[in-house]
Chain A
Amino acid sequence: MEHQEIKDLLALAALDRLEGEEARALSHHLAAGCDECEAELREFREVAASLALALEPAGSPVRILNRLDERLAASAESSPWSRPIRRGQELVPVASSQLIRWRAATAIATAALIAASAFAILSINRAAHLQAQFERQMATRDAQLRELHTRLASSRGEIITLERVLRDKARLDQILMAPDLRLTRLEPLKPAPRGAGLVAVSNVNHTALLQVSGLPPTPSDKTYELWWITRESGPIKAGLFQVEGPGTVIAQAEPPPAGQHALLSAVTLEPAGGSNSPTGAMYLKGVAG
């Protein structure tokens, strides 16, 4: 079809009711790069949208918001770490350090569901919902893991992964149910604008878990390092972890020493083997809740 014939179709096209050949001809024409038709189609779409505006508004804003909240809560249980979070401020440098042992583990993203739900709680930022959310998560988690089990059981390699997931699940269980659970959201800084992280700490269980996503893979001569920044001792080593590819990393960390309260948590990139105080670029940072 020629430009003029296509142009005549645009008013109808804006209503998404073109059929067969007309629809194909239009998309060919636009794909070939006709700016004029594209602009005019856009204009007709705005015209069409204004028809909705002319209607008398309906429904209850409160009910709409409530339904939206339900969906957000439900989706938080199934689609976790992909959401970016807002950027924090730069860290004030502090001195001193302490050496701490720790272990890191990488898990497939499914394990992230559980900690991610905690993340969603923070986003929704309504403490009153915390308990209900947790209960729902506890209920859905076993179903998720059962399904995961079924899917993974077919392959030996995947079973190994599953075992790792279950190990992480046990850790997550332990920490998420701790009476003194504290969660800190780590926000992305310049080197990893899509980064996100969550730190869960329980002093009662003497456990800390870190979950991160969106960090670049660790260079071979480097390591990521998690820090507690305490009032008493400044930055304290909390552990090392590696990022091998896209997806989520869950790592177990050492909680802040007894009697010390972490004001901030941060992730920096350090020389392999780790440093005793932060020396490299900071990738994530969060103010302890």
Chain B
Amino acid sequence: MSGPELEGASDRDLVAAVAEGSIEALRELSSRYGRMLTALAMRFLGSESDAEEVASDVLWQVWREARLFDASRGSVMAWLVMLGRSRSIDRLRAIKARSASAEPQIPVCPAADPASEVDRAERARMVRAALMNIDAQERMALELAYFSDLSHSEIAKKLGIPLGTAKTRIRSAMIKLREALLKTEK
């Protein structure tokens, strides 16, 4: 695959090409998801520079492990995000181990962003709209669970609510988000 072909290729095709040793395909994945991964890592780490480091870590891991990617187990994006989250948490823990100061931030609503690539931007818009329709307390619990390395009990403590309530809120937010996304996909 070359330039224009790569731009039109599906994420899965790109990962398959990376597994075959195509650096160009890896670069294309980087241009599709590098900034999303950086944004994700920033929610954990706060620092843009650390977050870019995590994003490139993830892409490097894709380079090494593309052959292990199993399309039947989920989308490329979900895989990247899973890697991004776990690399972010690793780094967060390393930072915490060095200084006790790194506190996860209480999440704010995700901001709007100018449309870039149509599909991803469209899906991003849908997710944001779906999030807006979820009760603020539930959304906060969900975002805290997702964008930090806190356990359920730590989340409960942070929000000043019982553990069972914290779990219920997170779960309920996930279910509502899923329903909203299913509805908009139809």
Tell me which residues across on chain B come within 8 A of A68, comparing CB atoms. 26-27, 30, 56, 59-60
Shortest C-beta distance, B68 to chain A (Å), equals 13
Shortest C-beta distance, B123 to chain A (Å), equals 6
Asked if residues A47 and B52 are in contact (CB atoms below 8 Å), the reply is no
Asked if residues A55 and B152 are in contact (CB atoms below 8 Å), the reply is no
Asked if residues B74 and A45 are in contact (CB atoms below 8 Å), the reply is yes
Q: Interface size on B (CB < 8 Å)? A: 67
Q: Which of B26, B30, B36, B63 contacts A55 (CB 8 A)?
A: B36
Is A31's CB within 8 Å of the partner chain B? no
Q: Which of B111, B120, B147, B174 contacts A47 (CB 8 A)?
A: B174
Asked if residues B52 and A59 are in contact (CB atoms below 8 Å), the reply is yes
Tell me which residues across on chain B come within 8 A of A101, comparing CB atoms. none
Is B159's CB within 8 Å of the partner chain A? no
Asked if residues A57 and B74 are in contact (CB atoms below 8 Å), the reply is no
Is B110's CB within 8 Å of the partner chain A? yes
Asked if residues B146 and A19 are in contact (CB atoms below 8 Å), the reply is no
Give B20-59 interface residues, CB cut-off 8 Å to A. Answer: 20-23, 26-27, 30-31, 34-40, 42-43, 48, 51-53, 55-57, 59
Asked if residues B42 and A54 are in contact (CB atoms below 8 Å), the reply is no
Tell me which residues across on chain A come within 8 A of B59, comparing CB atoms. 64, 68
How big is the A interface, by class?
35 or more
Q: Tell me the bound Cα distance from A55 to B85 in angstroms.
A: 14
Could you give, for residues 44-76 of chain A, a 1 whenever the CB lies within 8 Å of some chain B CB and a 0 otherwise? Answer: 111111111111111111011101101110010
Tell me which residues across on chain B come within 8 A of A79, comparing CB atoms. 64
Could you list which residues of chain A lie within 8 angstroms of chain B, going by C-beta atoms? Answer: 8, 11-12, 14-17, 19, 42-61, 63-65, 67-68, 70-72, 75, 79, 83-86, 123-125
Could you list which residues of chain B lie within 8 angstroms of chain A, going by C-beta atoms? Answer: 19-23, 26-27, 30-31, 34-40, 42-43, 48, 51-53, 55-57, 59-60, 63-64, 67, 73-75, 77-78, 80-82, 84-86, 110-113, 116, 120, 123-124, 127-128, 131, 142-143, 145-147, 151-152, 167, 170-171, 174-175, 177-178, 181
Going nearest first, the 3 A-B pairs with the smallest beta carbon separation are: A59-B38, A57-B35, A67-B56
